[in-house]
Amino acid sequence: MSKVLKMNFTLNPKGIFTVTVDAPKVDLTEAEARAAMTTIMESNVFSPKSGTISGIDSATITNQTITDLI
């Protein structure tokens, strides 16, 4: 099982932009996620096609189960 951190940002004029990080820190806190998202917003490292990053929407950690078939 692997974990994925999804950080969702609001876009101006409208929409959501998602940054996905594989294998986030095990004990990641809300404060750490918010600080990372603020740094991403302030540094302008991403240029979404549908707008500009204008705010923090949400962050979630998802557990994924991967089953190899071949």
Condensed to tens digits (0 to 9), the pLDDT of residues 16-53 reads 999 999 999 999 999 999 999 999 999 999 999 989 99
Question: Domain limits at 53?
Answer: 2-64
- The whole-angstrom separation of Cα 46 and Cα 31 is 22
Q: Is 25 a member of any domain?
A: yes
Q: Is 69 a member of any domain?
A: no
Q: Is 70 a member of any domain?
A: no
Give the pLDDT band (50/70/90) at residue 65. Answer: confident
48 upstream amide cis, omega within 30 of 0: no
Residue 70 has a pLDDT of 94
- The whole-angstrom separation of Cα 5 and Cα 1 is 14
Q: Is 45 a member of any domain?
A: yes
Query: Torsions phi, psi of 26, nearest 5?
Result: -60, -45
